[in-house]
């Protein structure tokens, strides 16, 4: 089979390179230099010329704050481009595996993990454009699996873990919000989940929306404390603070833990606990530096 991976130079795309390296399937990795997914003709040509069976869309506009003033481009990449991919893969009788976000829910639902069938209500441009992408997939009629995830991090690119590794190593004191809770997700675990769906042909008859993040729950403060502890940055005095001490143009969810029951029941795969995955990522980061 021929699998097209878009956004291949990002966090998830790079992890897809790693997990699929020994696959017998043919993986075609592209980023904007090789394929502009906002160009419908280019997408159609790529899919037809390479007889693409599956598209894994790892591309997205993910700067949550900047999206508020860059609405057109966020909509183009998170929604219009997704429609292009869905239309192209449908025309080739293939499957789209698309990554979405907990931000489609918006607001807060205290202490109850979100399920896939709950009403969506994004409170910012980023969440709204990602929701539009989901809606375009549904409207296209393409065979598709949508994986909603949250708090993604990895060894690649800019992310919370790498930022906090640097700050806890260089700052004597740090304030981190404790009133926003969710679950960190190691991009390698998400890539492994996607690869398992493809490699074992689990996409057949299992289209729809699924939640995927690591197991457990924490605040950004808890997350930072564990990053510092596991990396040996014990000298940094990390203090909890309220969200309003760091003003943002976007109202972020105060509780966005994702219920993964549907994913585990349908695909029969356990989900790693967030601290175990964090340790694994930090170990990989340290080995890469050596």
- Distance between CA atoms of residues 205 and 227, nearest Å: 39
Asked, for residue 119, whether it belongs to a domain, the answer is yes
Name every residue whose Cβ is closer than 8 Å to that of residue 84 and which is 6 or more positions away in sequence: 37, 38, 39, 40, 43, 44
SS3 86: helix
Identify whether 131 is part of a domain.
yes
Q: Is residue 221 annotated as part of the catalytic site, yes or no? A: no
Does residue 109 lie in a domain region? yes
**Residue from 126, 186, 203, 255 carrying the catalytic annotation:** 126
Whether residue 279 is contained in a domain is answered as: no
186-238 residue pLDDT tens: 999 999 999 999 999 999 999 999 999 999 999 999 999 999 999 999 899 99
Question: DSSP secondary structure string, 139-159?
Answer: HHT-EEEEEEE-SEE-SSSS-
- Entry field: residues in the chain: 290
Mean local confidence (pLDDT), 241-247: 89
Average pLDDT, the chain: 95
Indicate whether 151 belongs to any domain: yes
**Strand ranges, E, within the chain:** 2-6, 26-29, 54-57, 95-101, 143-149, 152-153, 173-177, 181-182, 185-186, 208-211, 218-219, 237-241
> Residue 107: pLDDT above 80?
no
Residue 179 falls inside a structural domain? no
- Residue 109 pLDDT > 90: no
Instruction: Check whether 288 has a pLDDT greater than 90.
Output: no
Check residue 253 and give its pLDDT. Answer: 81
For position 100, which CATH number holds? 3.40.50.720
The number of domains in the chain is 1
Residue 108's pLDDT is 64
Residue 99 belongs to what domain range? Answer: 2-157+185-215+257-272
Q: What pLDDT sits at residue 248?
A: 81
Q: Could you report the per-residue pLDDT of 145-171, keeping only the tens digit for each?
A: 999 999 999 999 999 999 999 999 999
Asked if the structure places residue 163 within a domain, the reply is: no
Asked if residue 67 is part of any domain, the answer here is: yes
pLDDT at position 54 over 80? yes
Structural tokens at position 232: 């040996």
- Report the pLDDT value the prediction gives residue 128, as an integer from 0 to 100: 97
């Amino acid at each position: 089979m021929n699998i097209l991976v878009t956004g291949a130079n990002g966090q998830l795309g790079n992890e897809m390179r790693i997990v699929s390296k020994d696959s017998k399937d043919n993986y075609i990795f592209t980023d904007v230099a090789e394929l502009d997914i906002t160009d419908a003709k280019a997408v159609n040509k790529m899919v037809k010329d390479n007889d693409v069976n599956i598209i894994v869309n790892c591309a997205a506009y993910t700067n949550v704050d900047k999206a508020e003033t860059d609405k057109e481009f966020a909509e183009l990449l998170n929604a219009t481009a997704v429609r292009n991919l869905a239309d192209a893969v449908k025309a080739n009788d293939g499957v789209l595996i698309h990554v979405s976000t907990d931000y489609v829910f918006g607001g807060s639902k205290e202490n109850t993990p979100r399920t896939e069938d709950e009403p969506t209500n994004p409170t910012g441009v980023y969440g709204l454009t990602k929701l539009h992408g989901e809606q375009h997939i549904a409207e296209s009629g393409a065979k598709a699996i949508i994986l909603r995830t949250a708090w993604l991090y990895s060894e690649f690119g800019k992310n919370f873990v790498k930022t906090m590794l640097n700050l806890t190593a260089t700052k004597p004191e740090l304030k981190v919000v404790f009133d926003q809770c969710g679950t960190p997700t190691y991009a390698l675990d998400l890539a492994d989940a996607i690869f398992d769906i493809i490699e074992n042909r689990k996409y057949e008859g299992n289209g729809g929306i699924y939640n995927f993040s690591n197991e457990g729950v924490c605040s950004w403060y808890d997350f930072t404390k564990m990053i510092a502890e596991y990396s040996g940055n014990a000298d940094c005095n990390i203090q909890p603070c309220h969200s309003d001490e760091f003003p943002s143009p976007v109202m972020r969810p105060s509780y966005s833990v994702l219920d993964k029951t549907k994913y585990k029941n349908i695909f029969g795969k356990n989900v790693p606990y967030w601290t175990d995955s964090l340790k694994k990522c930090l170990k990989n980061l340290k080995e890469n530096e050596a």
